Amino acid sequence: MIHSDTIIFGILAAILGILFFLRQRGGVWDKVFTFVPIILLAYLIPSLMVSFGVIDASESNLWTIAKDYFLTAALVLLTLSIDLRGILGLGPKALIMFFTATLGIIIGGPIALWIVAQFEPSIIAGQGADAAWRGFATLAGSWIGGGANQTAMLEVYGYNIEQYGAMVAVDIVVANIWMAFLLYGAGMHERIDRWLGADASAIARLRDSMADYSAQVEKVPSANELIVLTGFTFGAVAFAHWSAGWLSYYFTSALGAEAVLASEFFWVVVMATTIGLAASFTKARELEGIGASKIGTVFIFLLVAVIGTKMDIFQLGDAPLFMAVGLIWMTIHSVLLLTVAKIVKAPFFFVAVGSKANVGGAASAPVVAGAFHPALAPVGVLLAVLGYALGTYGAILCAEMMRAVSGG
């Protein structure tokens, strides 16, 4: 079993290199990657290596590096050439699907808990800090907002910290299984859109307009220009972290450590996105010509591979009752999303991004959006920030409904 972060990162990079080399070869590989999207393989292969004990990422620092460097840099680079007017022109269906995803998590929790309790009443038998509904409140916080909301729910409802690890396992495994389905769907979204009766022309126009801009300004970069791009990117990353530290400190003092606005990661995402958006209105947007979004896409794929190391499918057996609730919960969420999408004829892009803006937050929403096209990644970021804002309120509502189901 491989423990070294240096070796694990090298393996992940090699996997990506092999996948893209095969795609470049074309032929039969075009058919393979049509059936199984390359971004899904970039995610699944590392997760299978973890599951079968080839690599051990349990004490790895790669996720910290991926989140603090790759994700932050990707947010800056992918928003640098953004067409903000085009995003605003996507219409109301993006928000409809986002709020449907939120509603699916809020009502899915108590329904899933009630269903499992019909077969195994012990799931609602716990008292005080051991009550399962208190633990599932942390799951609701994570699946509507993110890690900051999850921590807030842990503080608000005081779940037994010794049992909290099981909830974290449910969070990671169930959310990542759902992400695998969404990445697969992204690879066949045109077929799904036909089934939904959806008009994805606005998304296609946004994708094409951003791709056209990239083509217009594209040129062969010099070493000087690449160093300028690197300096801009990681200078922005540094500023995002520096300002996030101050903002987190201020709001911790004003609102308490459990508040969403006290989360440093929340402010890193907001500041990196803001820097990219602001730069898109200046001459810095021309950095797209030397490959800003292409480098951002490289960071996204590295992020996907690292996220893959966080899922061990064999953890499904560690807490079977909790896992059962989580799987039913996510099923309710997905069925509601697809039902509403069918009714309003929303493109699958809005289904996938609306869901991951809730369930995955800023770490994975741009990944799923970028699976449709790298130029669309910022849409996921903007919706994920909205998820952070609603996470605590939605999780409290969900928790109180689960308390009622448990009779607590």
What phi and psi, each to the nearest 5 degrees, are found at residue 311? -110, 125
Average pLDDT over residues 13-34: 87
Residue 62 is predicted with a pLDDT of 92
Highest mean pLDDT among 64-68, 146-150, 361-365, 367-371: 64-68
pLDDT-derived band at 358 (thresholds 50, 70, 90) equals confident
> Residue 338: its pLDDT value, please?
94
Question: What is the SS3 assignment for 376?
Answer: helix
CA angle centred on 27, ends 22 and 28, rounded to 5°: 80
Q: Which helix (H) or strand (E) segment is 249 a member of?
A: helix 223-255
Cα R_g (the chain), whole angstroms? 21
In whole angstroms, give the CA distance from residue 50 to residue 45. Answer: 9
Q: Give me the mean pLDDT over the 244-250 stretch.
A: 93
Report whether pLDDT(250) > 90. Answer: yes
Is 181's pLDDT higher than 70? yes
Q: Rounded to an integer, what distance in angstroms lies between the CA atom of residue 102 and that of residue 95?
A: 10
Considering only 11-15, 53-57, 100-104, 290-294, which range has the smallest mean pLDDT?
290-294
**Mean per-residue pLDDT, 233-256:** 93
The predicted pLDDT at position 236 comes to 95
**Would you say the C-alpha torsion 133, 139, 144, 150 has a positive or negative sign?**
positive
- Separation between Cα atoms, residue 33 and residue 55, nearest integer Å: 25
| Mean pLDDT of the region 209-230 | 85
Contact 394, 106 (CB under 8 A): yes
> By C-alpha distance, which of 72, 270, 258, 58 is closest to 172?
58
Q: Average pLDDT for residues 236-263, to the nearest whole number?
A: 87
Please give the pLDDT value at position 86: 65
Q: Are 98 and 355 in contact (CB under 8 A)?
A: no
Output the six-digit token pair for 100.
């449907």
How many Å apart are CA 139 and CA 156, to the nearest integer?
A: 13
298 Cβ contact list (under 8 Å, min separation 6): none
326-351 per-position pLDDT tens digit = 999 999 999 999 999 999 999 999 89
Name the average pLDDT for the chain.
85
The closest of 112, 154, 71, 152 to 391, measured between CA atoms, is 152
Name the burial class of residue 156, with classes exposed (0-12), middle (13-18) and buried (19+) by CB atoms within 10 angstroms of its CB.
middle
Give the torsion sign (CA, 289, 293, 294, 299).
positive
Structure tokens belonging to residue 260: 């969403």
pLDDT at 83: 66
Separation of CA 337 from chain center: 17
Most trustworthy range by pLDDT among 41-55, 70-84, 150-164, 372-386: 41-55
pTM of the model: 0.74
Per-residue pLDDT reduced to its tens digit, 93-151: 888 988 999 999 999 999 999 999 998 888 888 788 888 889 899 899 888 877 667 76
What distance in Å separates the CA atoms of residue 184 and residue 36, rounded to the nearest whole number? 7
**pLDDT at position 247, please?**
94
pLDDT single digits (tens) 379-403:
777 777 777 667 778 888 998 999 9
Helix (H, G, I), strand (E, B) or coil at 37: coil
For residues 225-254, average pLDDT: 94
Phi, psi dihedrals of residue 330, rounded to the nearest 5°: -70, -30
Q: How many CB atoms lie within 10 A of CB 61?
A: 9
Give the pLDDT confidence score for residue 84 in this predicted structure: 67
CA distance linking residue 161 with residue 247, whole number of Å:
28
Q: How confident is the model at residue 320 (pLDDT cuts 50, 70, 90)?
A: confident
Take residue 169 and report the two structure tokens written for it.
């396992």
- The per-residue pLDDT for 108 is 95
Q: Is the dihedral of CA 159, 393, 105, 152 positive or negative?
A: negative
Which of 273, 234, 238 has the alpha carbon at shortest distance from 388? 273
Q: Is the pLDDT of residue 213 over 80?
A: no
* pLDDT (average), residues 233-260: 89
Residue 88: which pLDDT band, with cuts at 50, 70 and 90? low
Q: What is the pLDDT of residue 408?
A: 65
Amino acid at 119: F
Would you tell me how many other CB atoms lie within 10 Å of the CB of residue 161?
Answer: 9
Is 316 a residue whose pLDDT tops 80? Answer: no
